[in-house]
Structure 1
């Protein structure tokens, strides 16, 4: 299922068989003292592998950099502009279509990429309308997340190095989690943060937006498996219509 491990002699027929390619997309940014800078990359890649198994899809080499404007001033964060992301990912999608793929799944592990990925999908809709493009960021998890979380969400949209994202890591990549360093981030998010650019150092000194000490593998598994069910259903339905 790993596209980069195929050879050029055999891959053509496999593309015609699988028809779908999954691109894990993440970021390099601060995730507090208990999680690595590449948390979003690890989550996207591990999740892509699971989705590929359920849908007989190829997993492309991950795209490991994202738009991290909000956290760009934290040590270790590497920021890429939306404009750069859009152009590169649109080119990848068009190239995949030329190779014979008909479904392109951008599996996103970083919320900051959402605007760019939606624009990529729109561009490809115009350029190559026969290519079905999906941009996934843990779909179908809102209700189940509300059921399993113990602490209130720090923000209605943001989920970062907190109880939930740390639980994802404990399920998908626990070898990179140090729960002895987990903290309760308790950010101070002003109401205007939703309406004007607000660097996160104005809200938190740790980059942890919540209580990471409450994270468990079981919570992560419950939420992730639900999201996999939703994504698998969507992808398989798309494949059946080809």
Structure 2
């Protein structure tokens, strides 16, 4: 059940079937010269909607902004503060909790460490506040890299590379502009830098030339299956 498409009566009826909601978090962030700024959001929202076709659950509207430090200087990236992201996640969950939902999956398509930590902090705070609330925080990339390891050819592929380009070639081919080039960032170890694009000019981490729509379809299916197992555990079916 796609939340923003429901009427209030349909939402109330849906509560009789499930108390689980998936909340996709993404970003507006550069993904090389070949993928759209919405890549992270699209991937997270896509798999949530796919799972909603298989079982009763709610999918909340996606959050299109995230904490994007490494790409902050690249054209098009819009980054928010960790405190903003944490507060937004808490407010969304509390509002949905008041509406009757009890099982929450925060699925982030943006896998930045600081971004993910802010969502985990929000989840921990919510666990302390509500005794009957269950919550999971997952990165879409973690599921894709783990479940698709037999498919992925590129070592240490993570951003606008083989995985994400394959996913977009499968689900949104009209948004892929060219192939992109293999690249890895060269940030100096332990040193914080102001001009991050200097050390990562193309904004790609991996090899998009190895991408294919066929790989993308297989990886997406594996991610949806893995997400379903997480929901089972959260709801107590796997515990």
Pairwise CA RMSD = 2.1
Aligned twin of 2:224: 228
Deviation at 1:144, TM superposition (A): 4.4
Deviation at 1:52, TM superposition (A): 1.7
Deviation at 1:115, TM superposition (A): 1.1
Aligned twin of 2:169: 170
Alpha-carbon distance change, 208 to 197 in structure 1, aligned in 2, over 3 angstroms: same
Alpha-carbon distance change, 141 to 36 in structure 1, aligned in 2, over 3 angstroms: closer
Deviation at 1:228, TM superposition (A): 1.6
Aligned twin of 1:152: 155
Deviates further, 7-16 or 43-52: 7-16
Among 112, 117, 120, the alignment partner of 1:118 is: 120
The CA distance in 1 between the partners of 2:136 and 2:55, in whole Å, is 14
Contact 1:47 1:172 in 2 (8 A): no
1:10-61 CA deviation, whole Å, 9 max, x = no partner?
Answer: 4223123221111111000111111111111111111110122233111111
Aligned twin of 1:73: 73
1:96-135 correspondence to structure 2 within 5 Å = 96-112=96-112, 113-135=115-137
Q: Does structure 1 residue 31 correspond to structure 2 residue 31? A: yes
The CA distance in 2 between the partners of 1:55 and 1:235, in whole Å, is 10
Contact 2:148 2:222 in 1 (8 A): no
Aligned twin of 1:202: 198
1:73-113 CA deviation, whole Å, 9 max, x = no partner?
Answer: 11111010111000111111111111100111111110122
The CA distance in 1 between the partners of 2:40 and 2:13, in whole Å, is 32
Which secondary structure does the structure 2 equivalent of 1:21 belong to?
strand
The CA distance in 1 between the partners of 2:5 and 2:64, in whole Å, is 18
The CA distance in 1 between the partners of 2:228 and 2:7, in whole Å, is 27
Gaps of 5+ in 1: none
1:170-189 correspondence to structure 2 within 5 Å = 170-178=169-177, 181-189=178-186
Q: Does structure 1 residue 87 correspond to structure 2 residue 87? A: yes
Work out the number of aligned pairs and report it: 234
Q: More helix per residue: 1 or 2?
A: 1
Deviation at 1:165, TM superposition (A): 1.2
Which secondary structure does the structure 1 equivalent of 2:54 belong to?
helix
The CA distance in 2 between the partners of 1:96 and 1:196, in whole Å, is 41
The CA distance in 2 between the partners of 1:38 and 1:104, in whole Å, is 23
